[in-house]
Amino acid sequence: MIVRMRKLLLVGKKTRLPELLEFLQGKGSFQVDRVQEQEFPAFGENTTISKELPRLENQLNRIQALLMILGRVPLVPSDPPPMALNELEREILDHRAQLVDRTEELNFLKTYGVAMDFLLPLLNALEGSPHLQAIGFVSSVADRKNRLKLQEDLDQATQKRVQFHFHTIEENLTVNAIAFLRQDEAKIRSLLTQHGFSELKLPAAVEGLSTREAILRIQERLQQIPREIEDVRNGLESLRREQGWHLFQQKNELLDEMERMKATSLVSASHYACFIVGWVPQKNVDQLVRKLKDRFEQDVVIHPLKLDPHEEIHAPIKLENVPLFRPFEMFLSIFRPPRYDRIDPTPILAIFFPLFFGLVLGDIGYGVLLLISFLILFFRNKTATWHSIAIIGLLCSGWSILFGVFFGELFGNFGEQVLHMHPLLLNRMNQEGIIIFLLVTLGLGLLQIFMGFLIQVVLSFREREYKEGFEAIFMVGWITGLLLALFSAIGLLAGPMKPITLYVGLGLLLVGWGGIIAIKGPIMGAIEPLSAMGNILSYARLAGIGISAAYLAFAANTIGGLFPSIILAFAVGLICHLLFFILGIISPIIQSARLHFVEFFSKFHYHELIGRPFKPLTKLSKKGETE
């Protein structure tokens, strides 16, 4: 349900404003709103706030960047005292720079080492030769045509006084070596440049050494660098353990301070007094007022504000449901919350969503698998979000098992073949069962659509918007009349009451349609009733997906039974069941959500009359306890 709100005006000494905002933030139940009353002057320090906020945001960005480098930090206090931010930032960034440098050096030397393994025999053979020289370069496989053209030009420029060797060392990397007479060096280097290739030179750390000495030095570095990288990572890990919690706390304190500063910009003040207007849940008002008086005594005065109906509909929205329904608030959080004077559809969603899911899946075996999975999720994960998902999953799996018993389905027809199970209510795989199943889903659709219209009637009459209320009544009359007339005409309603039922149905049909046309006009009056019938028929998708789920499970057993080996048949059947099980989870979720969010919610204009969420001034540590 939507929690009732009260709007309060707090008047206090201006000098105690920072303390007052910090107190309200600690209580976490007061949403600060901008003061709209013209008699209250604007707060005189907004210029200071506009200058201070960028500084805090810059500091926050620095801390968040450091936390990203450190990774997940421990959320328990550490013994070492906190370091100054500048010093800690210098330490972390220095370690990060060393890690990047060592990693890049290691990757380069690994590639260089492989290349040198190919070039070394040739370079060693020519080292010290007065007439011959060699150059090595690296190319990609994509440069093959360019490399072949280079080879042709080298042969032509030196009258074939050149030897060209290449070797692919990685999927897209080729090492090339050119041996030539020293007198042709200028031509060789010129052609290399023209074709876009650069000589593979020794790293700066080994420049000036002989080839053999350079290779030995590189091999030595390849052994040293992993140890250096490990030392740097250990240093970062030490900083994470010792300073991570302090850094995380600094981030939260900064965010809290920024929230207080933003709240300050909504405050009005005179030379001596400050005026704060905000919203508090009705059940928290007495406690908050009592604690304000205990803390600030006469320095803060609280005035409950009387709201007119127009202002009341703009109150912030907080939803509060019984624990079993509360997880379904997560579904509604996808959209903006309902307006303050509307209703919270969470209980209806909590009842019908798992029901629709179970009706579609309707298999004992699949339901048990879901039950086990969500029980593990519930007990192994402690976060509120995953707990909510687990509770929703448990409800869905419970309905799936129950409908599986009604339909006599255990991994499709496996229960019937092996355990001689039989449907208690209907068989979704024969003609009669399919028709009944379709009628059941359409009946649920009719029930929910009528429920939506009833909600609209109640809300419209309560808000004295009678036009929309009568439109919903006429729509219910039109649909009811159409169904009565249709059932009487095709013989579903027989006996002496048949003519009366037919005439009553036609009367309701004409009156309902006439009323809709009178309210909506001739064009929309013709379209809207057909659209409502289309919404009801949309619920037939539950039957279609449910029947297809039953046949897919049957198909999995049939495919497995095609193999003579029991082990192979079991393996193939298991794979098919797992695939169809995943499909059987996704489809009911999507379709059940769509039927609620589109067909049902539209009947009482949920998406059109939206509100704003309740966002009290709250410390991050307090939020963490509730999320």
Retrieve residue 529's tokens.
């009733």
Confidence (pLDDT) at 163: 85
Phi-psi region of 580 (alpha: psi -120 to 50; beta: other; left: phi over 0): alpha
* Consecutive 10-residue averages of pLDDT for the chain (627 residues): 90 89 90 71 58 84 89 80 89 91 82 69 70 80 82 88 80 80 87 83 63 72 88 90 88 89 84 88 91 89 84 88 92 88 92 94 90 91 86 93 91 80 85 90 93 92 87 90 81 70 84 86 84 90 88 82 78 83 84 91 88 89 43
Retrieve residue 411's tokens.
């991994």
Confidence (pLDDT) at 624: 40
Question: What is the C-alpha to C-alpha distance for residues 150 and 166, in angstroms, rounded to an integer?
Answer: 13
Beta bridge partners of 137: 176, 199
What does each C-alpha distance from 141 to 170, 176, 267, 442 come to in angstroms?
9, 11, 67, 63
Which residue has tokens 């499709």? 412
Question: What is the C-alpha to C-alpha distance for residues 199 and 177, in angstroms, rounded to an integer?
Answer: 10
Surface-to-core class of residue 466, CB atoms within 10 Å of its CB (0-12 exposed, 13-18 middle, 19+ buried): exposed
Backbone angles phi, psi at 149, to 5 degrees: -65, -40
Confidence (pLDDT) at 416: 79
**Burial per residue of 402-429, b for 16 or more beta-carbon CB atoms within 10 angstroms, e otherwise:** bbbbebbbbbbbbbbeeeebebeebbbb
Beta bridge partners of 170: 173
Ordered by start, the domain boundaries in the chain are 1-43+267-316+616-627, 106-224, 326-420+427-604
Retrieve residue 591's tokens.
């379709």
Which residue has tokens 């008047």? 11
What does each C-alpha distance from 8 to 31, 42, 77, 263, 295 come to in angstroms?
10, 18, 38, 15, 17
Backbone angles phi, psi at 178, to 5 degrees: -120, 120
pLDDT one-digit tens code per residue, 475-533: 999 888 888 888 777 766 666 767 778 888 888 888 888 888 888 888 888 888 888 88
Q: Is the pTM of this model over 0.95?
A: no
Which residue has tokens 């690994």? 110
Question: What is the C-alpha to C-alpha distance for residues 12 and 265, in angstroms, rounded to an integer?
Answer: 16
DSSP collapsed to 3 states, 111-169: HHHHHHHHHHHHHHHHCCCCCEEEEEEEECHHHHHHHHHHHHHHHHHCCCCEEEEEEEE
CATH topology (fold) of 106-224: Alpha-Beta Plaits (3.30.70)
What does each C-alpha distance from 242 to 298, 495, 517 come to in angstroms?
45, 85, 73
CATH topology (fold) of 1-43+267-316+616-627: Alpha-Beta Plaits (3.30.70)
Retrieve residue 91's tokens.
């330490």
Contact criterion met (CB below 8 Å) for 469 and 461: yes
Which residue has tokens 């929703």? 392
pLDDT one-digit tens code per residue, 33-47: 887 655 455 555 555
Retrieve residue 233's tokens.
């990572």
Confidence (pLDDT) at 31: 92
Cα dihedral across residues 555, 557, 560, 561: positive or negative: negative
Confidence (pLDDT) at 205: 62
How far out from the chain centre does Cα 117 lie? 50
List all residues 6 or more positions away from 100 whose beta carbon is below 8 Å from its beta carbon.
none
In eight-state DSSP terms, residue 342 is S
Nearest C-alpha neighbor of 229 from the set 120, 104, 133: 104
Domains 1-43+267-316+616-627 and 106-224 alike in fold: yes
Task: Report helix, strand or coil for 293.
Answer: helix
Confidence (pLDDT) at 242: 87
Neighbours of 46 (CB within 10 A): 12
